[in-house]
Homo-oligomer: A and B are copies of this chain.
């Protein structure tokens, strides 16, 4: 049975029996509009933990003033059907008042690492992500928490968040789930026209070509990807970089912890993708 719970207290109470029985909790925080990428996180949590919690909350703190908060796709009914299908125990679905109502509040400031990559065009985004996830982890209690590797910068920031504050959570990154033609799954893919949908394949193509090139100098890999993406008329390049996956600083050369990461606009959809490369 999947419980839908709108309150913090109710969510804690619903997990209380599991806690007391020493059962492990797997937690998948989401903004809803669930797709196969989310399903893969839920399935892994289901396989590895006794109880599974999914949160569905479109977090206003992580949207900029000119971003798509109001238009962000929502479909609670379909989300619940997916959660039931995948054996989720508790769906925490608060409103904004439940999460941020009341008095003045503090936020997490992730500093410089939040200004890189996606942060450069989304100022404050990662402060908002870190703040809501810090809250969600406290609501969920000790848990294993699952995130997709597509949101590489988010994963790096949240690993650092957990370490910075000794949060009793194990942060688990899960492989990118792709459409059959290679496009990384994203709730924002719904914004794409048919032409943009085709054009968006250039992201994966840029990553593949760079990774297969044999090139190991970060700057040259980045240049190759920029050239590939810029050759697609419907793509407006945001960034294409080779970075260290702990610091997100430019990697001079490919190391054991380097990744290629790209972002571009296709119409009103800003899409991202990435791929680890090995030395």
Contact = CB atoms under 8 A, between A and B. Distances in A.
A75 interface: no
A159 to B, nearest CB: 9
B247 A104 contact: yes
Contacts of A108: 106, 108-109
Contacts of A105: 160, 163-164
A195 B31 CA distance: 63
> Helix, strand, loop or mixed for chain A's interface?
mixed
Contacts of A110: 106
Interface in A13-61: 20, 22
Interface in A91-121: 102-111, 113
Interface string A151-171: 000000000110111111000
A130 interface: yes
Nearest to A8: B166
A134 interface: yes
A135 interface: yes
A120 to B, nearest CB: 19
Contact of A106 (B103, B109, B168): B109
A20 B19 CA distance: 8
Contacts of A142: 141
A139 interface: yes
A8 B105 CA distance: 28
A255 interface: no
A68 interface: no
A134 B104 contact: no
A111 B109 CA distance: 10
Given A20-B22, A109-B109, A168 B103 contact: no
Interface of A: 8, 12, 20, 22, 102-111, 113, 130-131, 134-135, 138-139, 141-142, 160-161, 163-168, 246-247
Counting from the closest, the 9 A-B pairs by CB-CB distance are: A105-B164, A106-B164, A109-B109, A138-B166, A135-B166, A134-B165, A139-B166, A135-B165, A138-B167
